[in-house]
Structures are given as structure tokens and as C-alpha cells.
Amino acid sequence: MQDLAGRRALVTGGARGIGRAVAELFVERGATVMLADADAEEAAGTAAALGDAARSVACDVTVGEQVAGAVATTVEELGGLDVLVNNAGIEIVQPLLDMREEDFRRLTSVNLTGVWLGMKHALPALAESRGTIVNLASVAGMNGCPLLGAYCASKAGVIQLTRTAAVELRDAGIRVNAVCPGFVDTAMVDRAAVAIEAALGASFPELVAAKQGRLGTAAEVAETVAYLASDRAGWTTGAHYVLDGGLSAS
């Protein structure tokens, strides 16, 4: 399937994990991709592994000038921008009110403000192409969750940014959607699992098995992102798509 043929995409946090899987699938489906990541070295390695259709740019999504710079680099090197995937995110596993203020601010700065900055700075280029935006939220944005309170709040914010942007940008022909995965097999979950096991004294694999059957894969999330980015989802905007093995269903 080449339903992203000719599309020019910017994927934040594209060096590894879900962002990398999205970039891989986009390239497979005919897109060219700019990987924007705070870890410039790993992003460059990922882009090199993906071949001529992928490039990389150093970008901390919490810094407006860097986000604007990543958009400008995409337009310059890829010839425009059709798809923005706001994927960069971090986790902090701690009881909500034990968190240090600087950690709460850091988490919301990456996960929430970073998404807003991406949409804000990409808007002129997306308006020109009548492009589309896919934001990485989480099932954590649909429920509260002990130890993940700040993360939940940031992802709930991403869902609401998505909805409002979808309505405000509808007349410009720009669709805006979010995806809400459950636990997915990436480095983020490896780190979270250690902290969750330490805090709860429970086995993380058993918790995952009971709640969602198994871990999701980054490739499964990428499939949904690619669908939402394509014209096949042409009437879908303001939605948040859940992929979680039933975690949020009960």
C-alpha cells in the first residue's frame, strides 16, 4: 500500500520507539520523513537506517524556536509539510503530590506544551498543503492512574488540544486526531515497569497480562497513525483512537 506516497512528514521523538516505527511505516508507504528529536545522534542513526527518504534534525519540543526551526528544515529539505506527528513524550512514575515542581513542569512542558508548539509552528505549512496532524495521547489521558497522575493530566490535555484544534482548523482543511495506546513495548515502558514494580511490589508483566492481555507493539500504533494520516481517514477529525487490548474498556 502506498497511501502516503509523496507526503512529507515531520515526526517528533522519531529517533526510537513509537516515533521510529511511525517513520519506518511512513517511508514504506511512500512518504518522506523528517525525524525531530532531542537525541540528535540517535535520530541521525535512525534516519540513516531508513535510507534516502528520511532526514533528521535536532529539536527539543519544549523550545518554540527549535520547533519552528524543525518545521523550517522540513519545508526546506522535503519541499513542504503534509503530516505532523507530535510523538515526543516522557514519563515520570511517582505519586502525584510527591512530585517535585520542576519534574511536574518538565513533564507537562514536553508532553503538553510540546504538542501545542508543534501544531502552532506547523500551521502555516500545513495550511498550504491542507495537511494533517496526529498527536500521541494515551489511554492514560482518559482515566486517572496512581503513579502516573502528571502523565495522565498531560495526555488528557493532548486529547483536548486535539479536539479544539480539529474544530478550529476544519475550515482550513486540516484534520487533527490523536491516538491513545495502552502499554506498548518501548524503552519508555521498560523504564516505567521498573518504577511501577518498585512502588507497588507487583509484577509488571502480570499487571499487563491482567489488564490488556499483552504489550502492544510500536508497529501496531504506527498502523493507526498511518491510517489517520492518510486520505482513507478523510472524514475523521477531532477523534482519539484507542488501541489498548481492552485496558480502558472495563
Q: Shortest distance, CB of residue 125 to ligand NAD, whole angstroms?
A: 19
Site pattern 204..243 for ligand NAD (x: CB under 6 A): ----------------------------------------
Of 40, 53, 90, 99, which one interacts with ligand NAD (CB under 6 A)?
Answer: 90
Interacting positions 103-132 with ligand NAD (CB under 6 A): 110
Pairing of strands 54-58, 32-37: parallel
Q: Shortest distance, CB of residue 195 to ligand NAD, whole angstroms?
A: 13
- CB nearer to ligand NAD: give 59 or 134: 59
What b/e string do you get for 72-90 counting C-beta neighbours within 10 Å, with b at 16 or more? ebbbeebebbbbbbbbbbb
Of 73, 74, 87, 113, which one interacts with ligand NAD (CB under 6 A)?
Answer: 87
Q: Mind spelling out the 3-state secondary structure of 62-73? A: CCHHHHHHHHHH
Of 9, 11, 15, 156, which one interacts with ligand NAD (CB under 6 A)?
Answer: 15
Quick one: cell of 21? Answer: 516505527
Angle at 242 between CA 136 and CA 37, to 5 degrees: 15
- CB nearer to ligand NAD: give 87 or 237: 87
Going by the DSSP 8-state scheme, the letter that residue 184 receives in this structure is B
Quick one: cell of 168? Answer: 478550529
Q: 69 vs 64, 104, 157, 181, CA distance in Å? A: 8, 26, 24, 29
Of 81, 88, 142, 233, which one interacts with ligand NAD (CB under 6 A)?
Answer: 88
For this structure, is 227 an active site residue? no
- CB nearer to ligand NAD: give 75 or 152: 152
Q: Shortest distance, CB of residue 63 to ligand NAD, whole angstroms?
A: 8
Contact (Cβ atoms closer than 8 angstroms) between residue 178 and residue 137: yes
Instruction: Name which of 141, 183, 182 is nearest 163 in CA terms.
Output: 141
Q: Is 184 in the site for ligand NAD (CB under 6 A)?
A: yes
Interacting positions 132-151 with ligand NAD (CB under 6 A): 136, 138
Q: Is 193 in the site for ligand NAD (CB under 6 A)?
A: no
Selected catalytic residue, list 104, 116, 151, 183 = 151
Interacting positions 25-64 with ligand NAD (CB under 6 A): 37-39, 59-62
58 strand-pairing partners: 37
Find the helix or strand (DSSP H, E) in which 125 lies.
Answer: helix 114-129
Q: Shortest distance, CB of residue 40 to ligand NAD, whole angstroms?
A: 9
How many Cα atoms sit within 13 Å of 192 on the Cβ side? Answer: 19
Q: Could you tell me how many residues of this chain bind ligand NAD (CB under 6 A)?
A: 28
Contact (Cβ atoms closer than 8 angstroms) between residue 34 and residue 11: yes
Binding site for ligand NAD (CB under 6 A): 12-13, 15-19, 37-39, 59-62, 87-90, 110, 136, 138, 181, 183-184, 186-189
Return the active site residues: 151
